[in-house]
Amino acid sequence: MRRAVCPGSFDPVTNGHLDIVGRASRLFDEVIIGVLINQSKTGLFTIEERIEMLREATSSYANVRVASFHGLLVDFCRAQGAAVVVKGLRAVSDFDYELQMAQMNIGLSGVETLFMPTNPLYSFLSSSLVKDVVKWGGDASAYVPDFVGERLVTRLKQN
């Protein structure tokens, strides 16, 4: 079975993330969305909320599942039986960082990295940017699933 991991913090999931996951789901038998637990950062949404939103957003893909992890990505890949990490690249600046990570990952464990260019519709999109737009009263509905947008508005009104 060809299995891949799409890692990230997904705080929150965007249509750019979903574009990469959907495209990866056509290339691999199984895609595992790995939600990084970073204890040094406090996210807008809890890990459980992110997993719930990702499961809802990817429910139409029979070969996609969601799990959380902490520690090294390569250890998570090994535990999941995945030999490939799929990363979306928005710009050359993403490549500079991601190439270093890919080279370290293959050196540590032999896990390969597939770089997938982002759909141009989402080349500027990030979770941080979406949060900022919503925080300041803007409309981010074109960039996240409807239910994520609703949760963003509700959460940011509370803060």
For residue 93, the model assigns a pLDDT of: 85
Beta pairing partners, 116: 88
pLDDT tens for each residue of 31-43: 999 999 988 878 9
122 is in an annotated binding site: yes
The structural domain count of the chain equals 1
For residue 159, the model assigns a pLDDT of: 66
Residue at token pair 């940017």? 129
99 is in an annotated binding site: no
Mean pLDDT across 112-135: 95
> Which residues touch 102 (CB under 8 Å, ≥6 apart)?
85, 87, 112, 113, 115
* Parent domain of 101: 3-123
Q: Assess if residue 55 is contained within a domain.
A: yes
Confidence tier at 158 by pLDDT (50, 70, 90):
confident
For residue 39, the model assigns a pLDDT of: 82
CA distance 55 to 49: 10
Q: Assess if residue 138 is contained within a domain.
A: no
Q: Assess if residue 136 is contained within a domain.
A: no
Mean pLDDT across 110-123: 95
Q: Assess if residue 152 is contained within a domain.
A: no
Domain harbouring 88, CATH code = 3.40.50.620
Q: Assess if residue 65 is contained within a domain.
A: yes
Q: Assess if residue 146 is contained within a domain.
A: no
Q: Assess if residue 133 is contained within a domain.
A: no
Cβ pair 151, 46 in contact under 8 A: no
128 is in an annotated binding site: yes
CA distance 146 to 63: 23
The mean of the pLDDT values for the chain is 95
Mean pLDDT across 140-159: 93
Q: Assess if residue 53 is contained within a domain.
A: yes
151 is in an annotated binding site: no
93 is in an annotated binding site: no
Q: What is the pTM of this model?
A: 0.95
Catalytic positions are 17, 41, 90, 127
> Is it the case that residue 62 has pLDDT exceeding 80?
yes
